[in-house]
């Protein structure tokens, strides 16, 4: 039998506590143990747990009707949420298909991109370009564009033929590239790949503006996104920003790419949209992408039975209303540097800390065996999982990322607190995290 995957080691069946309830930044299990949610689970529960306003909004909607099928009815929550997304996204990103999560959102972005080219008679544009060490989801299309070795492995041979470019990471530049040249070199690599394939065959380039689950909160260097925008425009290639993890305020701007002053053609959002209260995501696209589709096909040919589910949209409206009313994106923006400093201070003196990076409330801590050479710890030590488990035992939830170096090696943990966490809670999160890191490192003889 093959060795268990890292996912199996991390989330082994039968060993998990049973969740009982959550309130604010805290979760409690049925044995009475309390955890502080330092990563909003998988960077989803952006306003914390058990919010009474959101719960009441969902209950009110359920009392009226749970779901009005999108081909039969529109609804107040659907129209209100569409307006909110349109306003927050801005810059012509005013069309959308609501779905139930991130994979469906990226899948729909891929399909809308293909449909756009088909509607324009550009039917040879079928190829996607993406990046290594990226995660776009678990459906076959989203998995095909993902550069996540372990999650792809059992499905290789059945995935779409996609070009995967170098990860864009200043801490681990591509071979023979200086850290300060990473953005330019990686943008040039995109242009070269478009030319190699033939611009008339490329449908879209998809990337995470700040890489999450496969890289560990890695922002692209300044100028990269703008260069990508120019290259995509030059060759008629659509730009898809996967903001499922980094968007909706997580990085201090509602759209993560707004930080770079760049507008994508399509954008996938999910996690923070309804904050985990109900499953919700969206493929958002620019009016110019919609135009030929509406003219030729009448509508985007994507979506599902539960697309624009009425109660899910009501949850989205309630969460987004709180985010706006309580100025939580500003809070993340303003407090982000402080949180980063708290993480740095808490980890001070640990020589296995190779890199601390991120933006807003999305911070990745990379651990290395040798800080000078950036050599990772041996993969079989599973340091990232040990830290996560040690933290969990001590009542802290954080998000583990393994394999960022080459698909196998590499140990990172992500801290991604709720936007409305108090200063005291941020201190608890960073303190417990540092304690867990020291203890886990000691357990592998790296004290």
Give me the residues that bind ligand PLP (CB under 6 A), please.
42, 101-103, 106, 135-138, 208, 212-213, 242, 244-245, 270
For the record, the structure tokens of 311 come out as 């109660």
CB contact set of 189 (below 8 Å; sequence gap of 6+): 165, 166, 174
Q: Could you give the CA distance from residue 138 to residue 129 in angstroms, rounded to a whole number? A: 17
Task: Please tell me whether residue 104 adopts helix, strand or coil conformation.
Answer: helix
- Our CB check for ligand PLP shows the closer of 159 and 294 to be 159
Least distance to ligand PLP, CB of residue 295, Å: 30
Q: Which residue is nearest to ligand PLP (CB)?
A: 102
* DSSP code, position 167: P
Q: Could you give the CA distance from residue 26 to residue 30 in angstroms, rounded to a whole number? A: 14
Least distance to ligand PLP, CB of residue 440, Å: 23
- Our CB check for ligand PLP shows the closer of 134 and 382 to be 134
Least distance to ligand PLP, CB of residue 195, Å: 27
- Our CB check for ligand PLP shows the closer of 113 and 270 to be 270
* DSSP code, position 315: H
For the record, the structure tokens of 258 come out as 């707004």
- Our CB check for ligand PLP shows the closer of 244 and 293 to be 244
Q: Could you give the CA distance from residue 241 to residue 246 in angstroms, rounded to a whole number? A: 10
Widest distance between CA atoms in the chain: 64
For the record, the structure tokens of 117 come out as 């080219």
- Our CB check for ligand PLP shows the closer of 118 and 144 to be 144
* DSSP code, position 375: B
For the record, the structure tokens of 69 come out as 């099928």
- Our CB check for ligand PLP shows the closer of 212 and 407 to be 212
Of the CA atoms within 13 Å of residue 430, those in its CB half-sphere come to 22
- Our CB check for ligand PLP shows the closer of 135 and 361 to be 135
Contact 323, 53 (CB under 8 A): no
Least distance to ligand PLP, CB of residue 137, Å: 4
- Our CB check for ligand PLP shows the closer of 97 and 441 to be 97
For the record, the structure tokens of 236 come out as 């008629």
For the record, the structure tokens of 31 come out as 């044995």
- Our CB check for ligand PLP shows the closer of 42 and 174 to be 42
Least distance to ligand PLP, CB of residue 122, Å: 26
Q: Could you give the CA distance from residue 356 to residue 322 in angstroms, rounded to a whole number? A: 30
For residue 100, with 0-12 CB atoms within 10 Å meaning exposed, 13-18 middle and 19 or more buried, which class applies? buried
Least distance to ligand PLP, CB of residue 276, Å: 10
Least distance to ligand PLP, CB of residue 134, Å: 7
Least distance to ligand PLP, CB of residue 226, Å: 21
For the record, the structure tokens of 334 come out as 């303003």
If you write DSSP's letter for every residue of 258-289 in order, what string do you get? GGGT---SEEEE-GGGTTTSS--EEEEE-HHH
Least distance to ligand PLP, CB of residue 212, Å: 4
Q: Could you give the CA distance from residue 399 to residue 111 in angstroms, rounded to a whole number? A: 30
């Amino acid at each position: 039998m093959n060795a268990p995957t890292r996912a199996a080691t991390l989330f082994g069946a039968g060993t998990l506590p049973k969740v009982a309830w959550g309130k604010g930044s805290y979760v409690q299990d049925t044995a009475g143990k309390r955890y502080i949610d330092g990563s909003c689970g998988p960077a989803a529960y952006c306003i914390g747990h058990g919010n009474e306003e959101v719960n009441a909004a969902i209950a009110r909607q359920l009392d009226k009707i749970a779901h009005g099928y999108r081909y039969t009815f529109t609804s107040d929550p659907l129209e209100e949420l569409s307006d909110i997304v349109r306003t927050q996204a801005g810059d012509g990103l005013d069309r959308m298909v609501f779905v139930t999560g991130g994979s469906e959102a990226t899948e729909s972005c891929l399909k809308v991109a293909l449909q756009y080219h088909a509607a324009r008679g550009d039917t040879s544009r079928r190829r996607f370009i993406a990046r290594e060490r990226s995660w776009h989801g678990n459906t076959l299309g989203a998995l095909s564009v993902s550069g996540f070795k372990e999650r792809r492995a059992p499905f290789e041979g059945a995935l779409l033929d996609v070009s995967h470019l170098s990860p864009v990471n200043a801490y681990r530049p591509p071979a023979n590239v200086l850290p300060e040249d990473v953005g330019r070199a990686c943008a040039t690599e995109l242009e070269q790949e478009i030319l190699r394939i033939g611009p008339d065959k490329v449908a879209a380039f998809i990337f995470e503006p700040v890489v999450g689950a496969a890289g560990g909160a890695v922002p692209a260097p300044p100028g990269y996104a703008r260069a990508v925008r120019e290259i995509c425009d030059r060759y008629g290639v659509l730009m898809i920003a996967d903001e499922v993890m980094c968007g909706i305020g997580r990085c201090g701007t509602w759209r993560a790419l707004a930080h770079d002053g760049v507008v994508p053609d399509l954008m996938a959002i999910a996690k923070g949209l309804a904050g985990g209260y109900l499953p919700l995501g969206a493929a958002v696209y620019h009016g110019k992408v919609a135009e030929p589709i509406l003219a030729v096909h009448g509508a985007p040919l994507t979506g599902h039975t539960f697309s624009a589910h009425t109660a899910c949209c009501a949850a989205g409206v309630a969460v987004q209303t709180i985010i706006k009313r309580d100025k939580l994106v500003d809070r993340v923006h303003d407090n982000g540097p402080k949180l980063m400093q708290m993480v740095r201070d808490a980890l001070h003196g640990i020589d296995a800390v190779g890199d601390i990076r991120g933006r807003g409330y999305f911070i990745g801590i990379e651990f290395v065996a040798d800080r000078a050479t950036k050599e990772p710890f041996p993969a079989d030590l599973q340091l990232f999982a040990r830290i996560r488990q040690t933290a969990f035992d001590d009542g802290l939830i954080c998000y583990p990322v393994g394999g960022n170096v080459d698909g196998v090696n590499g140990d990172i943990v992500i801290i991604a607190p709720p936007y409305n966490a108090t200063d005291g809670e941020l201190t608890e999160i960073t303190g417990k995290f540092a304690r867990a890191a020291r203890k886990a490192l000691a357990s592998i003889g790296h004290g």
